[in-house]
Amino acid sequence: MNCASARNRLLNSPDPGVVPDSVAGHVAGCPSCQAWHRLLVQVDQAVATAPVPVSAGRTKRRLVELFRTGRTPGESEHGIVTVPSTVVLPARTGLRDRVSRYWPIGLVAAALLVGAIAWITLGGKQDHAAVAQLPPDPFLKKVVAAKVRIDTADSAAERMRAWADLADDLREQARELSRMTPGEETESMESLAKLYEQAVGEDALVGQAQLLADDERAALLAKFAERLADAEQNAKRLLAEGVSPGSERPLKRIAKAAEASKNKLANLQRGRA
């Protein structure tokens, strides 16, 4: 027999002062249960000697009524309380109560679940899926527009402006791609460097500059030479900041092409075509 069993039997005994035979052996050998039994006897005696307050029996009736109907005698069937009740009813914890208490947590969980599903199915696909669903290419659009602009230009000055804009777009694209993962951008960077060299070269930007009239040269060449100087400096700055190994050579080609064309425009400006 363990202590809990022994104590339960002592509590059920009509006279706590008398130890039943069935637990006597345990209590005799257990100092803890002996102390507990002594305390039990003292409490029993104290309860027996405690004064009982005078009562008209109303509290007893209320308690009985409460157990029978769930309402205190002063409460009507319509729930209107006419006499304040001193009885505290236990809180009801039905399903509805629990739902009303915890719905914010459920709301957050539902939102997270729906968000995760939406992200996975609509916006969160990686790698192959992202590549397969590539958006329209804004750079291609710019190149198409540049071709149309150059082909339909009516003057050398207009074509020169269009070439300069296209060269800037090519350089900007190279700048963006130079930030890519090393090793993956080399071919693209070399391609862009080649196109940049062509765009600012003898058959494009510089070629159109040579077709300008004298007054146009005076008005335009310094401005375009300045743009080329900026392009050269930007490429050199990128190189100084450090780029991936595959981007170094193409950026140097861009800087060199910009510098060469800038010098050619400067010579044209000075009348040494």
Residue closer to another protein, measured from CB, 46 or 129 = 129
Stretch that binds another protein, among 66-74, 85-93, 188-196, 236-244 (CB under 8 A): 188-196
Closest approach of another protein to the CB of residue 61, in Å:
40
Closest approach of another protein to the CB of residue 124, in Å:
7
Buried b (16+ CB within 10 A) or exposed e, 197-212: bbbbbeebbbebbeeb
Site for another protein in 193-222 (CB under 8 A): 194-195, 198-199, 201, 203-204, 207-208, 211
Alpha helices, DSSP H, located in 79-213: 95-118, 127-132, 138-152, 156-177, 186-199, 205-210
Q: Is 102 in the site for another protein (CB under 8 A)?
A: no
Number of residues that bind another protein (CB under 8 A): 62
To the nearest 10°, the Cα dihedral for 60, 64, 66, 70? 180
Contacts of 165 (CB under 8 A, 6+ apart): 146
Q: How far apart are CA 263 and CA 149, in angstroms?
A: 26
Q: Is 141 in the site for another protein (CB under 8 A)?
A: yes
Residue closer to another protein, measured from CB, 40 or 153 = 153
Residue with tokens 């039994």: 37
Residue closer to another protein, measured from CB, 135 or 245 = 135
- Count other C-beta atoms under 10 Å from residue 54's C-beta: 5
Stretch that binds another protein, among 4-12, 33-41, 136-144, 255-263 (CB under 8 A): 136-144
What the block records as the tokens of 249 is 């050579």
Interface residues with another protein (CB under 8 A) are: 103, 107-108, 110-112, 114-119, 122-124, 130-141, 143-148, 150-152, 156, 159, 163, 166, 170, 173, 176-177, 179-180, 184-185, 187-188, 191-192, 194-195, 198-199, 201, 203-204, 207-208, 211
